Each structure stands twice: as structure tokens, then as C-alpha cells.
Amino acid sequence: MIPDLPADIDQIKGFLADDEAAALYEHALAESSKGPVLEIGSYCGKSTIYLGLACRQHSSTVFALDHHRGSEEHQLGEFFHDPDLYDGSEGLVDTFREFRRNMRKADLDDTVVPVVAGSEAAARHWQTPLAMVFIDGGHSLEAALLDYRCWTAHLMRGGILAIHDLFDDAHAGGQAPYAVYRMAKASGLFEDLGQVNTLGLLRRL
């Protein structure tokens, strides 16, 4: 049972299974006493709420990194495009308004720090060690590799690296997160903690 979980959590837009959400919460709860958590790819904040509720118990912080213009698959005409999140006046996807609304409703404004940027810009002068990094951003190989290379160097020893949307079958889903997961496992820098559904978990050695 997760304390203070919003009653409407299942109505929040997102792509997170219940067992994956529980695993994120449990690992964030364990790690956030040591330092902050970074989420890459917040979308409308469903996963952010689970991370935030865990971090709030230790008066810790979730840095929620997202440019809020949607990934490749969210763009106009693509399979996961949501017209409710499209700003027709600008001709752009805009998930930030929905994200902020969900953080406010979950009472997480003092726990979650939105970082509205891409990985490269945000990481350029980053100095804060991270207790957990959750990669759930763009699913192109270029985007997934950039997220991995920008942020794993800031992960503390003993910290958790979580990577979402792992599919070994290309017919089931995109392959870029799975390729990054295999790269991390082969690097010798991580202990493989296995998978929960499509969520891969590793511990920095």
C-alpha cells in the first residue's frame, strides 16, 4: 500500500503498469534517503507521482526532466498522439500544463522540481550526485543513448538505474531502451537486478 496515492492515479495519462509503478516506488523509497532522484521523461507525471511520494517520506527531491514537447511517437499523426495535449495555436505538443496540474493535485510541488529541458542542456553544468536515475525519455536510439550518457556519470555508487520500455521482441515495442539496457549490463559498471515487466533495474557498482 502506497501512502497518499491519489484516488484517480489510473486516470492520469501515462504508460506505466502497476507492477512497474510499485517497483519504482520501492526503489525510490530505499534510495532517496541518500540523495535525490532524477526522472528523464515525465510526460503528464504518472511515474513522477510514485517517485515523488517515495521521496517525500525522506524530505528528498525528484528532478523531473522533460522538454514537454512529446517524444517522437507523440507527435501529430503518430500512433501515440493525444489531441488533448496538442497546442494547436503553437502547432506543438505541450504536456507541461497537465504535468503541473497533476503535481499540484498530488501535493508534490515541494518535492518535485520540474526541469523543462532536454538531457544535453540540463546535464551541461550538472553537479548534484543522484541516488536513482529513471530513464523513460525518447525512444529513438539517439535519444536513449544521450539520456544514458548524460546522466549515468552522476549516479552514486550503489544507486539505482531504472530503464523503462524494454522489449526484446521488436514487434512488441521499440528497441532503443533495450539496447541501452544491454549496454549498461555489458559495461561492468552495474549489477543487474532483473526486470519488472518492461522495467529494467540495475545497481551502480
**121 Cβ contact list (under 8 Å, min separation 6):** none
The pLDDT assigned to 174 comes to 72
Percent of the chain exceeding pLDDT 90 equals 80
Residue in the structure block whose three cell numbers are 511517437: 73
Average of per-residue pLDDT across 89-118: 91
Distance in angstroms (rounded) separating the CA atoms of residues 116 and 133: 17
| Percent of the chain whose predicted confidence (pLDDT) is above 70 | 87
Catalytic hit among 58, 67, 68, 139:
139
Domain boundaries, the chain: 17-204
The whole-number pLDDT of residue 136 equals: 96
- Secondary structure tally for the chain: helices H, strands E: 6, 9
Give yes or no for a contact between 13 and 46, defined as CB atoms under 8 angstroms apart: yes
77 has pLDDT over 60: no
Mean pLDDT (the chain) is 92
- How buried is 132 (Cβ within 10 angstroms: 0-12 exposed, 13-18 middle, 19+ buried)? buried
Q: What pLDDT, on the 0 to 100 scale, is given for residue 85?
A: 64
Per-residue confidence band for 195, with pLDDT thresholds at 50, 70 and 90: very high
The answer to whether residue 67 is catalytic is: no
What's the pLDDT score for residue 83? 67
Whether 182 and 190 have beta carbons less than 8 Å apart is answered as: no
Contact 199, 20 (CB under 8 A): yes
pLDDT in tens, 173-182: 778 999 999 9
**0.95 surpassed by pTM:** no
What is the average per-residue pLDDT within 125-132?
A: 98
Q: Which superfamily does CATH assign the domain made up of 17-204 to?
A: Vaccinia Virus protein VP39 (3.40.50.150)
195 within 8 A of 162, measured Cβ to Cβ: no
pLDDT of residue 72: 65
